[in-house]
Structure 1
């Protein structure tokens, strides 16, 4: 099938496409419509009461988001464990807004009936059923699951529930999502990518609001990804361009979610990176093997671009200058007492505005 006819080879991907049943022979429309839905969202089976099966899908891209307007007639669509196992690459969340008609959604043991202006989260990695009893129009965002920035257990508590436009965030997001889907094709690439990031952040805020007070999504649940991220940071401390954006991209999560992971431990990404760099500089300055290296060289070796900035944050952390620490550490084995104020780890340092403060 093709976006507007049946001339393209099966399996062709269309980030921006139009699928319409009008030009498809009636006996082929059900198959065509099922494949159009599967290419747009994820592999699905459908049942339709009328072989005429009228429908149109329009898709466009915004950064890593796919925005979809779907118009169709009465039908039922479902995604089974068999289809999920066969697919392998449909790790997406669909945020579906009803513009016309009603839509029934069942997932994770919950059912919800959405009316115009209401929307819901659907996880395409788990079984799902959707009922469209009347002609409908939906406007949807399709995004990689990692971008949403919530844990597996948290996502399970979001699905099968509706967000109404009479809630605070619902009243903001419902018209915004509808307008965004309608105008996505008008934005140039860089603007679209930036806007997509803001959309994901808004959805993350909504998810957090919905999950607030719900059991199970605790700081303990974030401990494993935090440990993995800290290991990644330790391996790249010498890189002066190590920023939250770089770290988030490497782990396929949003920057907002990265900050939230560290916040759950009472820390910030920037403070953690700076503290680890200071610890490595302090260790190296105390080593006799590094006696021939200048303080500036040691600072640069661990990601500090400015020697003056390094000296300031070192003094704030340890109560002495790097030169004083080096002298104290070298003399200590001779039986001289260590300088007062020297601690095994940095004291609390005022959080930098962002990691690149090391360039100051």
Structure 2
């Protein structure tokens, strides 16, 4: 669990905004930004790495931020970003939609797409943000596209669970050990998935067939996550457990732009990567971690890991102090965004 801290007060006033912008570009993604505060600009940001995810808390003066089409072509951070405003708020525009969000109005963005964001507050804005890798994320890209910029209330239901977790997580960082990072990251992933699935169900409650199919997919995905370590986890076994045919199982998943086998592989790789980053397991041989997550042949695991993340597993397992989350080399599971009218 690594923490980085940036304080504008530690930088000469004439360089504060430029240094903040550069740090933002390195830690999040390259951005165009502007502030009217000039030399009076102030910001403080704390960045936590939880396995492959990042959580950042920032108090910053009003500013305008953009990911232009040119910047999205130059780099793809390969993450979804959730923003939780605590004070102040922001205006956001992405995917042909515009919205204004206030305190505890959570919303999700895709930095792979152009986006405009204005941070609004007096005198400053307090935000918590989450960057979670798309690779291995339980929900397909086409579903996530539906959620972009939408208000996800953070004071009620599943949203309150997530916002409470993020507030506690960023409030008392001194009490955590480095080995807590991957475990907290797993909890974060579960809460994010629950929140997004909840709002996807609500958005499609008037479309009974689609909602039923989504519910079935989520049910199957939960079953798969619970049995990832079982070598007998195959499409026929999954279909039998849900009283459907194998062909129907494939059709349900293909309708979302993914396959059953690729989703199982991505989940197993994501869990293996989490274990490789866990300091508690640093002495566990890589082949044992691979076998634990359904890869009995070390060569098959190494090849699949390299294809997914761009480096072999032995190179990913580096000392905790320098461990960085990976951007996926590719993600064959991601579906293209739906056609915009």
TM-score (norm 1): 0.57
In structure 2, C-alpha distance between the alignment counterparts of 1:231 and 1:92, rounded to whole Å: 19
* Residues 252 and 243 (structure 1), Cα distance of their counterparts in 2 relative to 1, 3 Å cut: farther
- The equivalent position to 2:111 in structure 1, one of 121, 124, 132, is 124
In structure 2, C-alpha distance between the alignment counterparts of 1:197 and 1:82, rounded to whole Å: 33
RMSD of aligned Cα (Å): 3.3
- The equivalent position to 1:63 in structure 2, one of 35, 51, 55, is 51
Superposed, which structure 2 residues align to 1:17-96 within 5 Å?
Answer: 17-52=4-39, 53-88=41-76, 90-96=77-83
Superposed, which structure 2 residues align to 1:145-184 within 5 Å?
Answer: 145-184=134-173
Offset, 1:137:
0.8
Superposed, which structure 2 residues align to 1:223-238 within 5 Å?
Answer: 224-228=258-262
Offset, 1:47:
1.2
What is the aligned partner in structure 1 of residue 253 from structure 2?
Answer: 219
Offset, 1:87:
2.0
In structure 2, C-alpha distance between the alignment counterparts of 1:132 and 1:231, rounded to whole Å: 39
* Residues 221 and 59 (structure 1), Cα distance of their counterparts in 2 relative to 1, 3 Å cut: same
* Residues 78 and 229 (structure 1), Cα distance of their counterparts in 2 relative to 1, 3 Å cut: closer
SS in 2 for 1:35: helix
Greater C-alpha Rg: 1
Between the two proteins, the alignment pairs up a number of residues equal to 234
* Residues 191 and 157 (structure 1), Cα distance of their counterparts in 2 relative to 1, 3 Å cut: same
Superposed, which structure 2 residues align to 1:310-321 within 5 Å?
Answer: none
Offset, 1:138:
0.5
Offset, 1:202:
1.4
* Residues 210 and 186 (structure 1), Cα distance of their counterparts in 2 relative to 1, 3 Å cut: same
In structure 1, C-alpha distance between the alignment counterparts of 2:181 and 2:261, rounded to whole Å: 33
In structure 2, C-alpha distance between the alignment counterparts of 1:246 and 1:100, rounded to whole Å: 46
- The equivalent position to 1:202 in structure 2, one of 182, 191, 203, is 191
Name structure 2 gaps, 5 residues minimum: 215-251, 267-287, 310-332, 334-341
Name structure 1 gaps, 5 residues minimum: 1-13, 233-238, 254-260, 262-360
* Residues 246 and 56 (structure 1), Cα distance of their counterparts in 2 relative to 1, 3 Å cut: farther
* Preserved CA contact (<8 Å) 1:34 1:44: yes
* Residues 74 and 219 (structure 1), Cα distance of their counterparts in 2 relative to 1, 3 Å cut: same
